[in-house]
Structure formats: C-alpha cells, structure tokens
DNA sequence: GGGTATGTTGAACGCCGTTCAAAGGAGTGC
DNA sequence: GCACTCCTTTGAACGGCGTTCAACATACCC
C-alpha cells in the first residue's frame, strides 16, 4: 500500500473515532449510524469498512480512548498515598462514580458493546483493566496484609463489581438503584464495612 | 368489542408471551423477531400490534412473568426465619445468583429492556420490586435496629446493587468479573463484612 | 338477510448495517 | 508526458428489521 493511502486511512480512522465519540457522548451508542458517520466525515459509507471491521470495531476504538481517560482520571484521585487505605479506596470509587456521571453514555458503551467470546477482548482492554485493578489492589493489600495475590485479585474483583453495580443502577436512575445524591455516601458505607470500620 | 374477539386476543396474547419467553430463554432478547413470532403463533405480523403496543411491550410482559417467578424462588430460599439475619441475607443473595445463572437470558432481559423514562415503569414492576426489597429489608432491620425506614430502604438498595453488580459481571464472564465458581463465596464475604462479622 | 361497524391481514414503507461491481487515482516503465 | 496496471474508494443495491394502514374478512345488530 502506498504511503499516501496509508496516511489517508489513518486520518479517516481518527476522524471517524472523533465523530463517533462525540455522537456516543451526546446521544449514546445506540444512535450511531453508518450513514450519519459517513456524512459527517465526508466519506462514503463503504469507506468506514476500509478502516474498521464493522461499527462494533469503531465503538471499540472509542472505548479504548474512554477506558484510557477513565484510568487516568481515577488514578489522579489517589495521588495522596499517605491517606489511610480505606480512604484511598473510597477516593478511587468516587473517581469511578464521577467519571460515570460525567460521561454517562461513553461509560455505558464500555459495557454495552457485545464481546461475543472471551477470546476477542482486545489487548488494550486487558491492559487498562489491569491498571485499574492494580490501583484498587494496593490499598486492599494494606487492609488484608495476609492475603495472597490471588485472594487480592478476587477481592479486587468483588469490590469493583459491587461499586460498579451501585454506580450502574444508580446513574441509570433505575427504580432499584440508590438515589443519585446518596450514591457517594452509600459507596463509602460499603467500603468502610468491608474495611471493618 | 365482542366477547369472541376479546377471547381470541387474550389467547393470542398468552401465546405470544409463551413464544417470546421461550425465544428469549434460548437465544436472548436481541434475537426476537416480529416475523418469527408471527410465524410461530400462526398469525399475521400486524396481529402482534393488535395485542401489544410494540415488541418492547411484549418483552415487558415476559419480564413480568420472569420477575414474578424470580420473586417466588428468592422468597423460597429464606423460609427459615429463625436463621441469623446475615445468613438469611446470604440465602437471598444466593437465590438471586441461582436464578440469574439458571435463567441467564430471561434475567438479563429484565435489565436490558429500555425504560425511556422513569414514568413508564409498569405498576407490576414496582410491586414485584417492592416484594423483593421487603424480603431483603427484614434481615437488614435486625442488623440495624436503630435505622429508620428510609435508611433501611437506602441500605437495601445499596446491598441489592452490590450483589447485582457481582452477579452481573460474574455471570457475563466479563474479564472484570468474579470467576463463576467464586461468586457465592465472594457474596458471602461482602455480606458478612456489611453485617460487621 | 342485509348493512354497518369492527377486527385482521400482509404487502409496503422507511429504516438499518453491510457488500461489491464499477469508477477513480496512484504508481510504474518508457 | 503518456499509457498501462493495480489498488483504493465509491454508493447503489441487498437482505433484514420494526412498524403501519388500506383492503379485506368477520362479527354484530336490526
């Protein structure tokens, strides 16, 4: 493939991710349309399929950005490594909550995209998740000094899933969820309980 | 409307719910097709829209059955009211987990169906949820004898959301979830922590 | 039995994601 | 600069979707 072609494709790829990201942010994953993307990008519908496998591939690319940004923002909330472990856990969870409420549609897209098998989870996803889990497991290790690595991993997953459940049902404003204005308080309650406070 | 017509419609309604339930159970909500339903029911596609607002209405009817069945099964797991409160909570959560793993597609449909606004949540949904929340709040009230009703409601939601999160990510086998075979153990860990054990 | 109101039907509509034959442009040799 | 080839891009077309509604069938009333 010629150099110029490669550049044109790379440009189109970025442009499409930009447009898709804006669309998902504003109207949610479900309102992505191949024709709409093509029109905004000033290309043919078929061109999308020259740079992405299908629309799911494009959504995954958007999710890559979202996940990375989320990791950075969550990390930033626990910079004070001298705070007690449980306070750092609460800060991480609040960072997660804050990201979800600030970017509801992009955040939901992270979980709504179909991952047909466990095999086709992209590498960047595993890496980003590992980063997030490491951030969580550091304070956890202080709370459970006797736990081995696999125990820590398990508890990290349990904690993450719990907080995720509260944030998910709460921010969706499901009638089964915690009211928005109480989520922070309830997450703190949950984490303090787990920490034995 | 003539009696005969009413009966014919009621019959078709039940028949369609049966067919849709089987389809969702076996292949998930996303594989429901108006034409497929009509063919299996032996009616015209348009007939579906004589007895349901749209396919979402049909899915909601299936969800009504599912939710009711889930309530019964979860209730049945806490018949021994003499067990310690925390053990009853664990039993309820395990009932929830068991229902979700035994009926993955039907269970997921409960949460995947779009409820555009908070206003159009059906009455039966609110009622069933109330039943489930009552079951949870009874043991909780024993653990927190000083909490008032709104506090109990809040903690019920927090607990439910947490367990839901663990069950959701775990049963979907998300790489962020708790491994299937450890879910029960981790739910017990979480609930015992909250109970202060 | 005839006339009207009501119920049912399925072809048609307007979408959708995706494809692929055809048109266009880039690279190469002279 | 030109002609030829090969690769890229294009957008009309395809198959499938949920939903509608004019035409047809049926039930009901007098």
Handedness of CA B143, B144, B146, B152 (dihedral sign): negative
Rounded-to-integer distance, Cα B17 and Cα A43, Å: 44
Residues in Cβ contact with B7 at an 8 Å cutoff, skipping those fewer than 6 apart? none
CB B114 within 8 A of CB B134: no
CB contact at 8 A, A182 and B154: yes
d(CA B28, CA B158): 28
Q: Strand D: which nucleotides have any atom within 7 A of a protein Cβ?
A: 7-13, 16-22, 27-28
* Structure tokens given for B99: 């229902």
Nearest CA in chain B to A195: B193
Torsion sign (Cα): B124, B126, B127, B133: positive
What pLDDT score does A52 carry? 96
Cα separation, B90 vs B191, in Å, equals 7
Q: What is the pLDDT of residues A56-74, one digit of tens each?
A: 999 999 999 999 999 999 9
Q: Do B165 and A166 touch (CB under 8 A)?
A: yes
First vs last C-alpha separation in chain A: 62
Cα atoms in the Cβ-side hemisphere of radius 13 Å centred on B75: 13
State residue B117's pLDDT score: 66
Lowest pLDDT segment from A29-38, B4-13, B122-131: B4-13
List Cβ neighbours of B63 (8 Å cut-off, separation of 6 or more).
B109, B110, B113, B125
Closest Cα of chain B to A178: distance in Å?
Answer: 5
Given a contact cutoff of 8 angstroms between Cβ atoms, the answer to whether A158 and A148 are in contact is no
> What integer pLDDT is reported at residue A114 of this predicted model?
75
Residues of B with CB below 8 A from A160's CB?
A: 169, 176
Region at B42 (left for phi over 0; alpha for psi -120 to 50; beta for the rest): left
Taking contacts as CB-CB distances below 8 angstroms, the residues of chain A near B129 are 175-176
Whether any strand D atom is under 7 angstroms from the Cβ of A8: the reply reads yes
Contact A169 B155 (CB under 8 A): no
Over the stretch B46-98, which tens digit does the pLDDT of each residue have? 999 999 999 999 999 999 999 999 999 999 999 877 899 999 999 999 999 99
Nucleotides of C under 7 A from a protein CB: 6-12, 15-21, 26-27
Tokens for B59, please give them: 């899915």
Average pLDDT, chain B: 93
Residues of B in contact with A174 (CB under 8 A): 111, 115
pLDDT for B5 equals 76
Q: Please count the residue pairs, one from chain A and one from chain B, whose beta carbons lie less than 8 angstroms apart.
A: 107
The DSSP annotation for B56-96 comes to HHHHHHHHHHHHHHHHHHHHHTT--TTS-HHHHHHHHHHHH
Give the model's pLDDT for residue B43: 95
- How does residue B114 score in pLDDT terms, banded at 50, 70 and 90? confident
pLDDT of the residue at B116: 64
Scanning residues 33 through 62 of protein chain B, those with a beta carbon under 7 Å from any atom of strand D turn out to be: 33-36, 45-46, 49, 54-56
- Name the residue facing B129 among A176, A179, A193 (closest C-beta): A176
Provide, as residue numbers in chain A, all residues whose Cβ is less than 8 Å from the Cβ of B169: 157, 160-161, 164
Band (B121; pLDDT cuts 50, 70, 90): confident
Q: Across the 197 residues of chain A, what is the mean pLDDT of every consecutive 10-residue run? A: 74 97 97 97 96 96 96 92 93 98 97 76 90 96 95 97 98 93 98 90
**Going along chain B, which residue ranges are E strands?**
none
pLDDT attached to residue B80: 79
Estimate in Å the CA B2 to C1' C1 gap, whole number. 21
Backbone torsions φ then ψ of A133, nearest 5 degrees: -70, -35
Q: b/e per residue, B92-115, with b = 16+ CB within 10 A?
A: bbbbbbbbbeebebbbbbbeeeeb
């Amino acid at each position: 493939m010629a150099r110029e072609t490669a550049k044109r494709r790379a440009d189109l790829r970025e442009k499409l991710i930009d447009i898709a990201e804006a669309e998902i942010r504003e109207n949610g994953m479900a309102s992505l349309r191949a024709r709409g993307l093509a029109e905004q990008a000033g290309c043919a519908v078929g061109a999308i399929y020259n740079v992405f496998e299908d629309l799911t591939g494009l959504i995954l690319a958007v999710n890559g950005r979202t996940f990375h940004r989320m990791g950075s923002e969550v990390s930033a909330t626990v910079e004070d490594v001298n705070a007690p472990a449980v306070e750092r856990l609460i800060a991480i969870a609040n960072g997660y909550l804050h990201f979800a409420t600030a970017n509801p549609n992009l955040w939901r897209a992270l979980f709504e995209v179909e991952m047909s098998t466990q095999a086709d989870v992209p590498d960047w996803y595993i890496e980003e998740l590992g980063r997030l889990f490491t951030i969580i497991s550091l304070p956890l290790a202080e709370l459970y000094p006797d736990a081995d690595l696999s125990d820590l991993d398990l508890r990290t997953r349990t904690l993450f899933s719990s907080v995720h459940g509260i944030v998910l049902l709460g921010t969706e404003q499901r009638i089964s969820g915690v009211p928005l204005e109480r989520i922070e308080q309830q997450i703190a309650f949950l984490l303090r309980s787990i920490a034995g406070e």
